[in-house]
């Protein structure tokens, strides 16, 4: 029996598959900080159980009989429900678009439902982590109401076309994020001008979903945003997003930098991992590296920022006041490797100022 000082996180599992309900329940039962208080095979049944059991978190399938998960999630959003939501969806390309809509409707975390290529065990290995992250994010939103994030005005003097970028410029921008990161990226990236050095992003994200996120961001930015592919040239004026289930790293070549994608073991329960991107940037670009660590639970990115700090680069981290979860930035601050803490709405300006300080 749990004897800790803090109450267990109460979870309701909603899925029309009995096998998935059983697996999620048994997996979460292994964590002493989590209690599964009930299950439901569709949202209509779940409505009554949410009212009676008052869970802190629900795990929610998207495709269910009588009412789909997205409709239920939008209904919860309209009712300003205090319950955090972890979506567990079949993330095909079509499913990824639904998952994006789910995030727009208030889902905190997205996980891929097991299929022929993904075992239930792979889901189980990270399920507790994401339930806790969703709970932490919802608690912060409830207790620290935030003003709407304003996008920074793009400074006209730095909006140079990418084609004018000097080939000798070896500066590199690397960004890491987790819980709340998709929304943070949607605020930050469109506020940046064209003509910057290459931007590489690791967002903790499932396979397939990363492509939908990149495509959505690409519609909002004045420069190209897309998923990275292995062994491609990293060019100025582009933003590359790590594909889900692949680590993204930087390697040098005769003309600049290239990508390296691997499926080596997860780091901090995550693949992609921010630490691997940041460490490779420190090794490859050294003092020409600018790293930004955004909202997220855990400590991924802190050791990578330590490597960048030792290499002479610049590290910016999101301020606690604007983070959905102040975990990853806090870990880097605790290591003493953050040069400046910046609220999200001020991050574009701070990024450009820091970039100007880097050697080319």
Cα distance between residue 226 and residue 260, in whole Å: 15
Strands 57-60 and 84-89: parallel
pLDDT of residue 167: 52
Strands 238-241 and 289-293: unpaired
pLDDT of residue 265: 92
pLDDT of residue 299: 95
DSSP 124-188: HHHHHHHHHHHHHHHHHHHHS--PPPPPPPPPGGG---GGGS-TT---EEEEEE-TTHHHHHHHH
Biggest CA-to-CA distance, the chain: 64
Q: b/e string for 210-236 if b means 16 or more Cβ within 10 A?
A: bbbbbbbbbeebebebebbeeeeebbb
Cβ pair 325, 300 in contact under 8 A? no
Residue with tokens 């940041």: 278
Give the other-Cβ count within 10 Å of 250's Cβ: 26
pLDDT of residue 168: 75
Specify the pTM.
0.84
Name, in order, each residue with C-beta under 8 angstroms of 358's C-beta and a sequence gap of 6 or more: 171, 287, 288, 289, 290, 313, 314
Radius of gyration over every alpha carbon of the chain, rounded to an integer in angstroms? 20
pLDDT of residue 139: 81
Write out the two tokens for 341: 């803490």
pLDDT of residue 153: 36
Give the other-Cβ count within 10 Å of 104's Cβ: 16
Q: Which pLDDT tens digits describe the chain residue by residue (360 residues)?
A: 344 567 899 999 999 989 889 988 988 998 999 999 999 999 999 999 999 999 999 999 988 888 999 999 999 999 988 999 999 877 555 667 888 888 889 898 888 776 545 555 666 667 888 899 899 888 876 555 443 433 433 333 333 334 334 457 899 999 999 989 999 999 999 999 999 999 999 999 887 788 889 999 999 999 999 999 999 999 999 999 999 889 999 999 888 999 999 999 989 888 999 999 999 999 999 999 999 999 998 999 999 999 999 999 999 999 999 999 999 999 999 999 999 999 999 999 999 999 999 999
Mind telling me the catalytic residues? 178, 204, 300
Phi, psi values for residue 83, rounded to 5°: -85, 130
Reference 186, options 25, 74, 7, 347; nearest CA is 347
What is the distance, to the nearest Å, from the Cα of residue 62 to the centroid of all Cα atoms in its chain? 20
Q: Tell me the C-alpha to C-alpha distance, in Å, between residue 309 and each of 63, 246, 265, 298.
A: 46, 25, 25, 20
Q: Tell me the C-alpha to C-alpha distance, in Å, between residue 119 and each of 62, 213, 276.
A: 19, 24, 24
């Amino acid at each position: 029996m749990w004897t800790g000082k803090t109450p267990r996180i109460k979870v309701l599992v909603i899925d029309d598959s009995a096998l998935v309900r059983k697996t999620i329940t048994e997996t979460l039962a292994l964590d002493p900080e989590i209690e599964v208080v009930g299950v439901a095979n569709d949202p209509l049944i779940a409505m009554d159980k949410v009212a009676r059991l008052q869970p802190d978190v629900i795990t929610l399938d998207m495709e269910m009989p009588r009412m789909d998960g997205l409709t239920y999630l939008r209904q919860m959003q309209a009712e300003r429900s205090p319950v955090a939501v972890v979506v567990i969806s079949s993330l095909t390309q079509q499913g990824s678009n639904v998952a994006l809509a789910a995030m727009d409707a208030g889902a905190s975390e997205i996980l891929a439902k097991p299929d022929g290529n993904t075992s239930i065990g792979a889901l189980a290995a990270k399920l507790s982590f994401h339930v806790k992250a969703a709970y932490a994010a919802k608690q912060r939103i409830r207790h620290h109401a935030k003003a709407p994030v304003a996008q920074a005005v793009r400074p006209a003097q730095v909006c140079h076309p990418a084609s004018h970028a000097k080939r000798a410029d070896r500066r590199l921008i690397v960004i890491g994020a987790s819980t709340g990161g998709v929304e943070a990226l949607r605020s930050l990236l469109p506020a940046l001008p064209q003509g910057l050095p290459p931007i590489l992003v690791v967002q903790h994200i499932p396979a397939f979903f990363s492509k939908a996120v990149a495509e959505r961001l690409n519609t909002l930015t004045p420069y190209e945003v897309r998923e990275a592919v292995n062994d491609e040239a990293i060019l100025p004026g582009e933003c590359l997003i790590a594909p889900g289930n692949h680590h993204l790293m930087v390697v040098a070549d005769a003309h600049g930098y290239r990508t390296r994608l691997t499926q080596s073991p997860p780091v901090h329960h995550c693949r992609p991992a921010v630490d691997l991107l940041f460490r490779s940037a420190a090794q490859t670009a050294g003092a020409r590296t600018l790293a930004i660590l955004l909202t997220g639970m855990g400590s991924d990115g802190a050791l990578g920022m330590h490597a960048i700090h030792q290499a002479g680069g610049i590290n910016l981290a999101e301020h606690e006041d604007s983070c959905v979860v102040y975990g990853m930035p806090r870990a880097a601050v605790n290591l003493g490797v953050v040069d400046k803490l910046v609220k999200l709405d001020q991050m574009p300006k701070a990024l450009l100022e820091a970039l100007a300080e880097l050697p080319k």
